[in-house]
Every structure is written in C-alpha cells, then in structure tokens.
Chain A
Amino acid sequence: AQSVSQHNHHVILSEAASLELGCNYSYGGTVNLFWYVQYPGQHLQLLLKYFSGDPLVKGIKGFEAEFIKSKFSFNLRKPSVQWSDTAEYFCAVKLSGTYKYIFGTGTRLKVLA
C-alpha cells in the first residue's frame, strides 16, 4: 500500500539553527508532493508544493523542499528557523490517477527562543 513516512516525530531546535525534515513515500508512479503546516490553534495550510519542473521548490516563509525522484524523497528545509516556526509539519502525496492525498504522521517542531 502507498504510504508517506516522516522520520522525525519531534524536533527541537534553537533559533537560527538549520532545519531539515525528512519525507519519503512509497509509490512508483507519478506524484504531486506537498508540505502542510499547522501552527498552534490554526488550520492546516499549504507551505509548498511540487507538481513538475524544477525539483527544488520554494515556499512561504523561507521554506524550500527538494524532490529527489530516485530516493522517493521530498525533504523540507529552512536555513535559519525562527521561534514562529514552531508548528506541526505534514508531508503529503497525491497519486496520479486518483484524487486521494496521503499524509505522513507529521513532525512537531519546537523552536526555542
């Protein structure tokens, strides 16, 4: 069955540290890839997405992600985190030929001021 794995369930960083959150999916076909973020007390919102073209995707608030097809990965990065980045981050995959989105279990990021 198709799945999305997020390796880190909890991450704690100090402000200005660099961030990389892992995301791997298991599906051999064409996919669309997403990162969603949920700030405390807020709805899930889109951070960035990959459909095609340049595998390095830039999103809001300085986040970026790189699609590496050979590794079935779509890791999220930010060079320097801020306290306001404290949130839960979800990787999601949309499979070709379906309308179904598969989400990972999420990574809770806490940034210490």
Chain B
Amino acid sequence: DTGVSQDPRHKITKRGQNVTFRCDPISEHNRLYWYRQTLGQGPEFLTYFQNEAQLEKSRLLSDRFSAERPKGSFSTLEIQRTEQGDSAMYLCASSSGASGSGTSGRWGTDTQYFGPGTRLTVL
C-alpha cells in the first residue's frame, strides 16, 4: 500500500465552474476525512466518513460542497459554482478504528494518514 492518494494534485478553474476531487485512502481504512487548508492556517475539518456513512459535516461547509464515499473505499469531494474564496489545498486523510468509537465515548487509537492534497485555484 502506497498511502493515501489524491487526484488531481492541482486544479485551476474559472469561477462558477464545478470541480470534483478524488481521494483513495489506505486500503482497509474505514475512516476518511476531508480538510481544507489555506495559506497560513491549519487544516480545517470539512467532513468525516465511517465506511460509506457520512457521520459528520462542518457547519461551515456551504451547500455548494458535497462529498460521497459510495462503497466505503474511495471518496469524492465536489464543489459546485466555485468562488475565488474556495481556492485552497484540499486534504484527505484516512485511519482505522472501531466503528462507533467516536460517539460512544470509547477512544480508538485513531491515527490519521494524510494524502498530498489537491491544490485548487479559482480564477
């Protein structure tokens, strides 16, 4: 396994266009996270999947953003009607952990492995 991969690595688009990014997690990892990172900031949580279920989504995420993980393996993040403020690095991370250990209060030894990111530039 070569780690978490993301495609494309760079994307330049015009304002108003839709873009879709793909993340392939480490095989057998049931947890998948999407983050957004802008210059001078740390990663900002966008959404979380456990297998195919989207269990948490940031309230900061507008309706233009949607993510899927249809078979519990790879995930896609789509941004509709892109705006210049969407320009950022989009990071994906995966980890393994017991199902339900987040909300049940039981902590797994969740270690996130990050991908290289997709850099989006909206002109």
A interface list, Cβ under 8 A from B: 4, 30, 32, 43-46, 49, 51-52, 90, 92, 94, 96-106
Interfacial chain B residues near A99, Cβ < 8 Å: 31, 33, 48, 50, 55-56, 102-103
User: What is the 8 Å Cβ interface bit string for chain B, positions 33-64, against chain A (1 contact, 0 not)?
Assistant: 10100001111110010100001101000000
Interfacial chain A residues near B42, Cβ < 8 Å: 4, 90, 92, 103-106
Closest A residue by C-beta to B111:
A46
Q: Is B112 interfacial (CB 8 A cutoff)? A: yes
Interfacial chain B residues near A101, Cβ < 8 Å: 33, 43, 45, 112
Number of CB contacts from chain A to chain B under 8 A: 63
Residue pair A97, B102 in contact (C-beta under 8 Å): yes
Q: Which of A30, A49, A100 has the most CB of B within 10 A?
A: A100
Q: Is B91 interfacial (CB 8 A cutoff)? A: yes
Residue pair B114, A98 in contact (C-beta under 8 Å): no
Closest A residue by C-beta to B116:
A43
User: For the complex, what is the distance from the CA of A104 to the CA of B112, rounded to whole Å?
Assistant: 16
User: For the complex, what is the distance from the CA of A104 to the CA of B35, rounded to whole Å?
Assistant: 13
Closest B residue by C-beta to A43:
B114
A25 to chain B, nearest CB (A): 12
Residue pair B43, A51 in contact (C-beta under 8 Å): no
User: For the complex, what is the distance from the CA of A86 to the CA of B21, rounded to whole Å?
Assistant: 30
A8 to chain B, nearest CB (A): 14
Closest A residue by C-beta to B40:
A105
Residue pair A32, B48 in contact (C-beta under 8 Å): no
User: For the complex, what is the distance from the CA of A45 to the CA of B117, rounded to whole Å?
Assistant: 13
A45 to chain B, nearest CB (A): 7
